[in-house]
Amino acid sequence: MVKIFLFLLIYIFSFKSFSNEVKILNETIGNGLEVKNHSKLSVNYIGRLEDNTVFDSSYDRGQLFDFQIGVRKVILGWEIGLLGMKEGGKRTIFIPYQLAYGESGAGSLIPPKSNLIFEIELIKVIPPGYKEIDGYQLKLAMTSDFKIIDIRNKGEIINSNKIPGAIQITAFDKNGNFFPNFFDKYKEKVVAGEKVIFVSQNGDISSILANGFVEQLKQTNIYHLKDGISGLEKINFDFE
């Protein structure tokens, strides 16, 4: 479990670094649910090289491709390029080789340093198992039976603000290393099934942790604060 969380943390830093390099070449907007981080998707697709050679197609197999965004089950270009799509829509995306199969390529079908083009049809979207709340919803939650878990490291807390009544349990150090004793400290404060809101500085790390609790630990009533402490600072939240 610790290895899984650490791997996902490394992934999200990579996501930020390359998010402006995938190009949407064509799109038909759907009218269903929107793809967000950690959504589960069912898609049909055709993958082509730049010379228009087809190297893969789910249509030819007659089987939908199912996966979850944000856990590196697909190449990084897909993780980036499908965000914001809506169920029922179609999107053609250009993915540079750095966000595809890199300098080595993939087998005999995808040569080294191959930029790829995918035509993707989004058939179904299942929202993440955790719930995302904003700052205004957090204010309401503070009057109810929620437990707010601030997972930031000490450096982030010292240089920022604190939510009144939040329980501080650091999940990662400043270098992104996961603290193995996080789960033990969590169990000391939280009973399984209680409503929990994870809070990080900007909201990205708390979403990763929330998804891990739902998908890997099978926990229920898990929430995360969208945009984190930084988002609260923009709405004049009453900090401690």
Q: For each of the domains in the chain, give its residue range(s) and CATH number, in order of start.
A: 2-126 (3.10.50.40), 131-233 (3.40.250.10)
Which parts of the chain sit beneath pLDDT 70? 1-20
pLDDT recorded at residue 72: 86
Residues near 44 by beta carbon (within 8 Å), at least 6 away in sequence:
58, 59, 64, 65, 120, 121, 123
Note the pTM of the prediction, 2 decimals.
Answer: 0.82
Angle at 97 between CA 40 and CA 41, to 5 degrees: 10
Tokens of 13: 């830093």
* CA–CA dist 88, 189 (Å, integer): 43
Name the 3-class secondary structure at 190.
Answer: coil
- Round to whole Å and give the CA distance between 49 and 135: 44
Q: What is the pLDDT of residue 15?
A: 41
pLDDT at 19: 43
At residue 21, the pLDDT reads 86
Sheet containing strand 167-168, edge to edge, reads 131-133, 222-225, 195-199, 146-150, 167-168
Q: What is the structure's pLDDT at 88?
A: 98
Residue 34 has what DSSP assignment?
A: B
Amino acid 138: pLDDT: 96
Tens digit of each residue's pLDDT (9 = 90 or more) over 39-94: 999 999 999 999 999 999 999 999 999 999 988 899 999 999 999 999 999 999 99
State the pLDDT at residue 7. Answer: 43
Residue 100, pLDDT score: 95
